[in-house]
Amino acid sequence: MHTARDPVITTASPQALAQFQARLDQPPQPNTHLQTTMRTSTPLPPWPYPRWIAHRGAGKLAPENTLAAFRLGAHYGYRMAECDVKLSADGVPFLLHDDDLARTTNAATATAKEYASNMPFPHASRAQAAPDSIANTVDLAAGYWPWAALSQLDAGGWHSRSYAGEPLATLAGIAAFCLANGHALNIEIKPTPGDEAHTGTVVAQHAARLWHGVACPPLLSSFAVEAVQAAHATAPHLPRALLLDTLWDGWLDAAQAMDCVAVVCITGCATPPWCRRCMAPVRVRCVTRLTTPTRPMPCWRWGSMG
């Protein structure tokens, strides 16, 4: 069981980490207003997930969204991880954060281009670049690549030499790792632009099948409302969360309409009124996504779950 003393994977310096851990060792001070609000509201059921979640498997200590990252996160003591899942051109759910393959794979190299150019791509390239550009040979948008081509890419060499040759991970492979080790998972649905509803449907179908009968199912989340709506319609028994990078008009009504169990926002959006608004009237948990290891305790005092 995770506690506030568990290790934290972050990109911060050792000095910042030491200061962060010192803050974790101090119990949060009670918030009288929040306690009063919660006492007068219907109690929430127990939160089934750990407070600390390894972002993309292991933060930036390993190539993000790979099995190597998940193994490293587990080595540091994490029992839950977050990952980004999108669909290949032929419908295979796999892990990747960006819309394209340029940053975290070798798709732009000559070897990858040569292999991909011989693949029967279901979608024609929409590149409008110069004749000698990479994009003119193959489109680097990940959703246009079939899994047979994606599976040949190096998704680790960009990070460091020790991870060279690490392949992209499938949702099925991550599920096998999590289930074998008793770990929980937050699946962020990352659709190719224009494919939000379809991606939400397919990812929810696979998650429901892979975690069938498991006591602690994965938490499905997305910034794309259409993806969360589709996941809700496809697998209503799986818990859902709405992700926010800004507090746009109607976000709370949308979360309630989709029966979300949590609203997840970056720390810049997390304020005491925001947390209390989530938790008091509609019984939605607020969860903050830390972008720096220096601000966890205020969020907890306001009622954030992690």
Tokens 């996504």 map to which residue? 289
Number of neighbouring beta carbons within 10 Å of residue 68: 22
C-alpha closest to that of 117 among 127, 95, 191, 158? 127
Catalytic: 97? yes
Candidates 2, 33, 55, 183; catalytic one = 55
User: In which order are the strands placed within the sheet that holds 240-244?
Assistant: 93-95, 80-87, 184-189, 219-222, 240-244, 262-266, 285-289
Candidates 33, 75, 97, 206; catalytic one = 97
Please enumerate in sequence order all residues whose Cβ is within 8 A of that of 27, keeping only pairs 6 or more positions apart, or say none: 4
Catalytic: 75? no
Contact 87, 171 (CB under 8 A): no
Torsion of CA 251, 255, 261, 262, to 10 degrees: -10
Compute the distance between CA of residue 3 and CA of residue 76 in angstroms, rounded to an integer. 14
Q: Which residues are catalytic?
A: 55, 97
